[in-house]
Amino acid sequence: MEPPKSRAPNIRDVARLAGVSYQTVSRVLNDAPSIRPSTRARVLEMIEKTGYRPNQAARALVTSKSRTIGVLMAQTANYGPTTSLHGIEDAARDAGYFVTTMTLHKPDVESIKAGLEHLTGQAIEGLVVIAPQVRVFDAFRKLDLSIPIVTLDSTAGHGPRSLSVDQIAGAKLATRHLIDLGHTEIVHLAGPQDWIEAEARMTGFLEAVGEADLRTHPPFLGDWTADFGYRAGWELTRFRDFTAVFAGNDQMALGLIHAFRAGGLDVPGDVSVVGFDDIPEARHFWPPLTTVHQNFAELGRRSVALLLGEVGGDGGTEQEQILPELRVRESTAPPRAQR
């Protein structure tokens, strides 16, 4: 039994016990070449015996590498960002990195600057951003920090490196599905105006509608929540000049359907609804929701790969895109007139 009061063992303690110099212990730790197997074994044994753990702070001080990745994310409990975060942590840990997260209360430049200072104070080696608000990117452009950054869930052209599920393609997929069913009056319930994803989905929607030469309804600008979808649904029910709605995400779709049903509209009988994200619950909504699936965890994992690749070598601007998939379920059907 060790006296519990004493400080943690350091590299010199281990060295003394193993009868070698501290540098030799350091070599074993960083598995450098030219170490006699017997020496390595002895050192390893003493490390085990003393319960020695290298002090990360000291390491970071001398190497100025913290082996930490920062994640800046919007404060949302939504499925997508959260799942991506888990993907990031998975990949980071596999690569021996730590993950320090930082949530943003509000997307204003002030908060972002504060968050970033907090994070860079930690000497992070790279940053993943899962807060795809336009304002966040504007803030970044002003700050130009010197570490590699990868942005998630955004579309091309906004950051130095970005990785995303192709939101425009996904939105087109969803909209064309409605058009193919025979719908001509389609409303889009969009996400918050300053979210890049929302913008991209809107773009995809408008492109698809434009290509089919349909009337363009003014979009609703929401906030991603089911509550908002519900309120929007009430508004929409008053007009009834549409037969289908493309919702910016599954939660808003859920609220919409709720309001439609409360207002006496049948889904998909009177109106078809498509969502976006394919959260695990979407298939159990009533009716099961037709939506666009994206692989968030994969996104997170690949963002780390991209980041760590950049930490080493460096290339130019790169953008990777993952293709989303349409999942047709029971919330969509041909409009009444067709049937």
Partner DNA sequence: TCACGAAATGTGAACGTACACATCGCCAAC
Partner DNA sequence: GTTGGCGATGTGTACGTTCACATTTCGTGA
Sites of contact with DNA (CB under 7 A): 7-8, 10-12, 19-24, 26-27, 29-30, 33-36, 39, 52-55, 58-59, 61-64
Smallest gap from Cβ 281 to its own copies, in A, equals 5
Determine the Cα–Cα distance for residues 178 and 285; give it in Å rounded to an integer. Answer: 19
Q: Which of residues 74-93 bind its own copies (CB under 8 A)?
A: 75, 77, 79, 82-83, 85-86, 89-90, 93
Give whichever of 59 and 135 is closer to DNA, judged by the CB atom: 59
Collapsing DSSP states into helix, strand and coil, what is residue 11?
helix
Amino acid identity, position 203 = T
Locate the DSSP E strands across the chain: 68-74, 98-104, 126-130, 149-152, 161-165, 186-190, 220-221, 244-247, 272-274, 291-293, 318-322, 325-327
Q: How far is the CB of 153 from DNA (least distance, A)?
A: 35
Q: Residue 52 or residue 276: which is nearer to DNA going by CB? A: 52
Residue 39 interacting entry, from its own copies, DNA, none, C-beta within 5 to 8 Å by type: DNA
**Exposed, middle or buried, 224 (CB in 10 Å: 0-12/13-18/19+)?**
buried
Interface positions, 273-302, toward its own copies (CB under 8 A) = 280-281, 283-286, 288
Instruction: State the minimum distance, in angstroms, from the CB of residue 147 to its own copies.
Output: 12
309-316's contacts with Cβ under 8 Å and 24+ in sequence apart are 310/126, 310/148, 310/150, 310/161, 311/125, 311/126, 311/148
Which residues of this chain interact with its own copies, rule CB under 8 A? Answer: 53-58, 60-61, 64, 66, 68, 75, 77, 79, 82-83, 85-86, 89-90, 93, 98-103, 105, 117-118, 120-123, 225-227, 229-230, 251, 254-255, 257-258, 261, 280-281, 283-286, 288
